[in-house]
Amino acid sequence: MKNISKISLYLFLVTTAFCYSQSTSKNFANKGREWYISKAKGSGQLGTKERPAKDLGNIIHRLKPNDVVYIAGGTYMSKGKRGSDEINVPVKIYGGYDETFTTRDPWGAYKTIFTGVNEYMKLTTPRLYIRTDQQRESNGQRSQGSVIIVDGIIIDNGPRNRYHQDKNLAIRRQASPKSGQNPSPESGGIVIVGSKYTNIAVQNCVVMNTAPTEGAISVRVFQGGKGIIQNNFCINNTGYGIQARTGYVGSDASKIPVFTIKYNTCLFTWKHDAVASYGGDGLALDKNLVAVVENNVFGFGHMGGIYSKGADLTLNNNLFTGNSKYDFKEINAKMRAEDILDESEKLNPDSMGNESLLIKIPVAERWAKIYASRVEIRREDVDAAVSASNSGANQLRSMLGINLRGNDVAMDAEVFLPLITVEEALPAGQLPWNGKGCAAPKSK
């Protein structure tokens, strides 16, 4: 419990200091109010502690800048079970409360779970999408500043996915109108795009069973802003577990977005699809940003642990385990953990303490057996299986001396992003390994 106490204290101190943003415009300087949401007791849109709303989706149209939303434990599917909430003003969202909103235990007794259903024509956008960069002042200038916080939310996209033959073993990315099924959403679980000078924090969250090209947690910070991504658990997602993105293209060092990424655990991050050559990393970072990445665990990435596209990066005391191709990729150079300090060209030379270890992951035996039984499909095998048909189009291409077009080859994996339940996944995120990785948020 000693490590948990240290992490909890760290989160409190950093977030407290973080909540003061500069250069906030008039539109985003609203004082804000408190909202309360309870699946069990909610009704209507007053959103008070005495009369909470039933779902975040029911009150989104009433949210104003700097509102604070408290959500009790329960399973939430959004308005009309559409499975996606989009908010266009800076807000703070805290999940994991009991029905009286006095006790909090986000990964334990009072789990606030955001999910949905797979029905044809339901939304396939991110489960929680906060985007403020398009808001404008009365004079037409874009609004800026303020703070966005998401804390203590569990995103489970499993019920939103379409699985092959409804066996929960392999997702499908195409819809099936005939059977009334949506495609598996090709979007992240928590996606936040801030405005200029907006600070963003995602902490104490769990994201699982999402199938994006981007990050399961994706945070895009614009000029003059800061991002904190800490004590989150990402398990069984495609794309990237966490993605730190920049919205600034200039060269002014004082305006480059700055990220702090600490005490997160990202496990079992899959490629975009069975034969893809992209995705499959625990953490991805854009080029034009500064990031300190410390005390995280990046394990079982189908490509690697960290993929940096050239960020100004400091790596301290991170643990890498079971990654297929590399632990660290810097632009195109691939490295194992023990070689990072020697071979990286852009890493801060003060970086230290990164290691590769074999660790025991307390994931459910049922799911572990399914994962271990997967058969990886190589891109080379697919290319070798392609043959050119004798179609009229190919006969014409042959006469013109240009390359023939091959037939499509269906080589979908039998096991790809198999469904894992919240109960099966959470034990793997409850305790850190030697002080590295996430821990269950301390109940209050």
Residue 196 falls inside a structural domain = yes
State the average pLDDT over residues 390-394.
50
Give the pLDDT confidence score for residue 126 in this predicted structure. 98
Residue 404 has pLDDT above 90, yes or no: no
Task: Check residues 37 and 431 and name the one with the higher pLDDT.
Answer: 37
Q: What is the pLDDT of residue 274?
A: 86
Question: Terminus-to-terminus CA distance in the chain, angstroms?
Answer: 15
User: Distance (Å, rounded) from C-alpha 149 to C-alpha 152?
Assistant: 10
DSSP secondary structure string for all residues of 93-110: EEEEE-TTSS-B-TTTTT
Residue 442 lies in a domain: no
396 inside domain = no
Strands 312-316 and 128-131: unpaired
Q: How confident is the model at residue 1 (pLDDT cuts 50, 70, 90)?
A: very low
User: Residue 139 in 3-state DSSP?
Assistant: coil
Is this prediction's pTM over 0.85?
Answer: yes
Q: How far apart are CA 203 and CA 242, in angstroms?
A: 12
How does pLDDT run across 182-199, given as a tens digit for each residue? 999 999 999 999 999 999
311-349 pLDDT, tens digit per residue, is 999 999 999 999 999 999 999 999 999 999 999 999 999
Number of domains within the chain: 1
Angle at 331 between CA 328 and CA 357, to 5 degrees: 0
In a domain, 228, yes or no: yes
Backbone angles phi, psi at 408, to 5 degrees: -70, 140
Stretch (H or E) spanning 306: strand 304-308
Q: How confident is the model at residue 377 (pLDDT cuts 50, 70, 90)?
A: low
- Let me know if residue 382 belongs to a domain: no
Please state, in angstroms and rounded to a whole number, the distance separating the CA atoms of residues 19 and 199.
8
Domain extent, residue 11, equals 2-373+413-429
Dist. CA 257–CA 133, nearest whole Å: 15
Who wins on pLDDT, 433 or 409?
433
Residue 282 lies in a domain: yes
Predicted pLDDT of residue 65: 97
Per-residue pLDDT tens over the stretch 122-140? 999 999 999 999 999 999 9
